[in-house]
Amino acid sequence: MWNQQYYAPDLPDLQLSYAEGDAITIQVATLQGDILTAVNEQYAPAADDTITIRQLDAVAMAYIKPYDIGAGIPQLSSFTPAVNLTVTVTHADKTTTSYTTSLYYATVRTSTAASPLTPSQHNGFLTTYTDRTITPAVPVIISYRSQLSASILVTYAQDGSLRSERLQLQSGDNAITVHCLSLAEIATMLNQATGGASVSPENIHHIRAELSSQDAVTDTINFHIDHLHNRQATTFLFTNCFGCPEAEVLTGNDHLTTNLDAELAYIDGKYRRAWEELEDIHKVSTGHITRQQYQSIRQLAQSPRTLILQADGSTEEATITAIDLSDTTPRSSTVSAIITYRIANRIQPVLNRPLQPPVNVFDTTFDPSFQ
């Protein structure tokens, strides 16, 4: 089953026949052939003169890097979350036998049995979602393999009716392409494609992302734009189970608790604080979540890095410290989760004091000549 492409957790154990004098080398390299590490290993054979090498996925995952969301997510980018893993057996007569596979980043199994990437996995979007609702402030993020063609079908209101326009997207140079498009950027693309029509972000109601291979559609994601209902929203940016950037919108309340952490000691004969820190702990409810969102929330909690997307488009790194998430099958009621997080910066508070112009006590704008 080797000599194929796998998501790392789906890689099967490698079983080898053993002969006296065999030496085994495990090598991890980039897809371009640059060696990242090479180690020589010694294994004791089983009674049937075989050796089983396990957890090679863990070796590879130490060198596969997810998307770096901390550097920002431009409109178009690409990266390669994959390595080549080679196991070489050098026999006593100096001949060698090699086993090579390409491993892609993943934090979940894609099947219950060890198996290589299927055509549907090659041709699909790298996300949990097939249908989701986002707020206008949340960018549309899609990730896919660069050999595929991607487009978005945008439904918008104009002149009292709904219209649709397809926008073709460009693929990147590396293995995985990532598009991160705000509604304002999509509106600009629409206006250019339609010859200067005045489409604003508020007019966009639905976006369907499509992947195609050889002119056949292979996968779709529906984005429903919620312009009215969820005015309270906390938006996280994170890397999903495939190492690709993702946005998750939590529509429940964000409860803030402030704790004082301090070192107390006698200083100059008085009991004082030698050191203090106010720690702001946020507990945010997800609101009602679907089955797909349930999986995405798990990936959010597991993401190596998370950012809070602010209303002005800026981001602040946050650290998730706890999650309260449970589900039942079948569901007898709505399901939600509570995520506990704090701002990662050591100095958490950000001063928010708007400048106030001077205001006269008496209004002198009244015109006494007014009749």
pLDDT value, residue 1: 64
Which candidate, 282, 277, 276, 278, places its Cα nearest to that of 319?
282
List, in sequence order, every residue forming a beta bridge with 256; answer none if it has no partner.
282
pLDDT value, residue 285: 93
- Taking a C-beta distance cutoff of 8 angstroms, is the pair 235, 308 a contact? yes
Q: Would you give per-residue pLDDT tens digits along the chain (371 residues)?
A: 678 899 999 999 999 888 888 889 999 999 888 999 888 887 778 888 898 998 999 999 999 999 999 989 999 999 999 999 999 999 888 899 999 999 999 999 888 777 888 877 889 999 999 999 998 999 999 999 999 999 999 999 988 899 999 999 999 999 999 999 999 999 999 999 988 778 999 999 999 999 999 889 999 999 999 987 667 889 999 999 999 999 999 988 999 999 988 899 999 999 999 988 888 999 999 988 888 999 999 999 999 999 999 888 889 999 999 999 888 777 777 788 999 999 998 887 778 777 777 766 665 565 555 55
Residue ranges covered by each domain of the chain: 5-114, 118-228, 230-365
Q: Residue 133 class from Cβ within 10 Å (0-12 exposed, 13-18 middle, 19+ buried)?
A: middle
- Taking a C-beta distance cutoff of 8 angstroms, is the pair 150, 209 a contact? yes
* Dihedral sign from CA coordinates of 57, 61, 62, 63: positive
Which candidate, 58, 28, 55, 53, places its Cα nearest to that of 41?
53
pLDDT value, residue 149: 96
> Rounded to two decimals, what is the model's pTM?
0.86
Torsion angle (degrees, nearest 10) of CA 87, 89, 54, 33: -10
d(CA 60, CA 262): 42
CATH class of 118-228: mainly beta
Q: Which DSSP letter does residue 364 get?
A: -
> Which fold, 230-365?
Pnp Oxidase; Chain A (2.30.110)
pLDDT value, residue 163: 92
- Please name the residues in contact with 106: beta carbons below 8 A apart, sequence gap of 6 or more: 7, 8, 9, 10, 241, 242, 243
pLDDT value, residue 324: 93
Instruction: Considering only CA atoms, give the Rg of the chain.
Output: 27
Torsion angle (degrees, nearest 10) of CA 58, 62, 63, 64: 70
| φ/ψ (deg, to 5) at 152 | -125, 135
pLDDT value, residue 329: 78
Question: Is the domain 5-114 a CATH 2.60.40 member?
Answer: yes
Report the residue count for the chain: 371
Whether 118-228 shares its CATH topology with 230-365 is answered no
